[in-house]
Amino acid sequence: MNSYETVFILTPVLSDDQTKEAVQKFETEVATLGGKIKHTENWGLRKLAYPIQKKSTGFYFLVEFEAEGSLVADLELAFKRDERVMRFLTTRMDRDHLAYSINRRAKMGAKKTASAEA
C-alpha cells in the first residue's frame, strides 16, 4: 500500500454543515474503495491565487491516506463528478514526504497543547 495526500478546494458558498458533509463523503469514499485514512486537516477559507469559477476564495482540506494505486483514479473521478469541488490534487508521498508530514503534525500538536495550557 502506498501513502497519498489529497488537497481539495470546496466552493465558498457552502455552509459549515455542507462542507463537513462533503469531506465526510470523500473520507467514506476512500474507506469503501479499500483505503485507510491517516490524517485530515481543515485549512479553512482561504484566498485563491486566481479566480476559479468567478470565485476568489475557497475552503481548503487535506486528507492523507494509504491505499492501492487504483483507488486514486476512482477517488479523482468522484472529485470530478462533485460540483462542490473546485480543484483537487493527489500526490504520492515518498519516505521524506512522510517524515515531513509526521514532524509537521507533531509541531502543530505541540503548539495546540502549549496554547491550551496558557
Return the domain boundaries, the chain: 2-117
Pull the grid cell for residue 37: 485514512
Please tell me which residue, 55 or 109, carries the higher pLDDT value. 55
Instruction: Provide the whole-model pTM.
Output: 0.85
CA separation (Å) from 92 to 11, 55, 58, 68?
25, 29, 24, 11
Count of other CB atoms within 10 angstroms of residue 101: 17
Compute CA 40 distance to the chain's CA centroid, rounded to the nearest angstrom: 6
CATH number assigned to the domain covering 2-117: 3.30.70.60
pLDDT at 105: 83
Name which of 79-83, 88-92, 110-114 the model is least confident about: 110-114
CA angle centred on 19, ends 80 and 36, rounded to 5°: 70
